[in-house]
Amino acid sequence: MNTPISSIRNLGPAYEEACHRAGISSAEDLRAIGADAAYARLLQTGTRPHFIGYYVLVMALQGRPWNDCKGKEKEELRQRFDEIKASSFDTQKAAFEAALDMIGVVARK
């Protein structure tokens, strides 16, 4: 079955597009991969890291409202986000691409 990613509560067309760029083509694939591995793939394929984007994904896969994350749970998710970001996001490549974009060499995403 290939249920659209945007059918998952809180995940819209932009999130679905980012998932497709990361090779995640359905809601079933996303659920099977899990939030942490999926977010790492998003970062590896060009999505800029953003904590809210990460915890929205976690909440979505749990079937919870995006803003349901609070207190200790949110602190723990922040730590997981920081670990994923550190291991999956190439800050030097991002800075280089940003510089190229500023001078008009790289097409905007």
Give the CATH number of the domain where residue 67 resides.
1.10.150.20
Q: How confident is the model at residue 6 (pLDDT cuts 50, 70, 90)?
A: very high
Please say whether the dihedral angle defined by the alpha carbons of residues 102, 103, 106 and 109, taken in this order, is positive or negative: positive
Number of structural domains found in the chain: 1
DSSP 22: T
43: part of which helix (H) or strand (E)?
A: helix 35-44
In a domain, 108, yes or no: no
Pick from 8, 22, 4, 88: nearest CA to 56: 8
- Evaluate if pTM is beyond 0.75: yes
**Residue 48 within a domain:** yes
Please state, in angstroms and rounded to a whole number, the distance separating the CA atoms of residues 86 and 81.
8
pLDDT digits (tens, 9 = 90+) for 35-70: 999 999 999 888 889 999 999 999 999 999 988 989
73 lies in a domain?
yes
Whole-number Å distance between alpha carbons of 59 and 52: 10
Residues of the domain holding 64: 5-102
